[in-house]
Amino acid sequence: MHPALQHTAHRPWPLPAREWTWRQSWLDLAFLHYRVAAGPLRQRLPTGLTLQEFDGAAWVGLVPFRMAGVMRRPLPDVPGFSEFPELNLRTYVEAGGKPGVWFFSLDADSWPVVFGGRTVFGLPYFRAKMQQRAVNDGWSFTSQRHAAPASFAGRYRAVGEEFLAQPGTFEHWATERYCLYAQKPRGPLRRLEVHHAPWPLQRAEVEIEENEILAAGGFATKDAQPICHFSRGVHVVSYAPETVR
């Protein structure tokens, strides 16, 4: 049994009846959340997706982290493919009663993942030169997109005790999501389900030196500082995408 499947009672809906197809781990993450205007964001979503709001606002999340153990079942890890940094810009949506994530960009330091993510799943991946490294009691993360001037540089570290988010809180709403939505040009809306244990979260302190990702994604925010959390990560399995009907 994959480690992700040792905990299932917390899921908002049952596991898919089919077998999982890919495995991965999402490690040493920072969740950086910004309020944004709901109207313009809603207009950018495909038909079939409903924008979700919390505390009367729409939100985008900027998430730097490290992917590890990425591989299709039942193959072993492949050096140069299975581990790499990634930086996501996302918002929160729902379709068919299943809350999930919609990505506006995914920067990755792996050309096979960028190519495969775009061609197979229709996800807006970009190739970037990236580095995540341990510094003192936290992490330094840098990213420079190859095709456009979209860079990020910052440091983050966990503060306080680790906790599991409780239903009804912002932390639970923004992190405990078990699917993502994607759409190829002129294709149907598709849902890709994932599963993992509940996120182990901590409050985080973040120092951002440069952040062009929001502007490159077409967003502006009045937040001087994002709401910040850290997680040491989770092990994940994902399932073949399905068309949203």
Residue 245 CA to residue 242 CA, distance in Å, equals 9
Considering the domain 18-243, what is its CATH architecture?
A: Beta Barrel (2.40)
How many residues does this entry show for the chain? 245
- Neighbouring C-beta atoms of residue 156, cutoff 10 Å: 23
Tell me, what's the pLDDT at 4? 96
- Beta-strand ranges (E) seen in 165-239 are 179-183, 189-195, 200-211, 227-238
Q: Mind listing the pLDDT tens digit for each residue in 112-124?
A: 999 999 999 999 9
Alpha helices in 84-188 (DSSP H): 111-116, 170-175
- The residue ranges of the chain whose pLDDT is under 50 are none
Pairing of strands 138-145, 151-164: antiparallel
Q: How far apart are CA 163 and CA 231, in angstroms?
A: 10
In the prediction, which pLDDT does 222 show?
A: 84
Q: What is the pLDDT of residue 80?
A: 81
Instruction: Please count the other Cβ atoms lying within 10 Å of the Cβ belonging to residue 162.
Output: 13
What pLDDT is recorded for position 147? 81
Long-range contacts of 93-97 (CB under 8 A, 24+ apart): 93/45, 93/49, 93/50, 93/51, 93/52, 93/181, 94/49, 94/50, 94/52, 95/48, 95/49, 95/50, 95/181, 95/189, 95/191, 95/244, 96/191, 96/244, 96/245, 97/13
Backbone angles phi, psi at 114, to 5 degrees: -60, -45
Q: What pLDDT sits at residue 87?
A: 98
pLDDT for position 73: 95
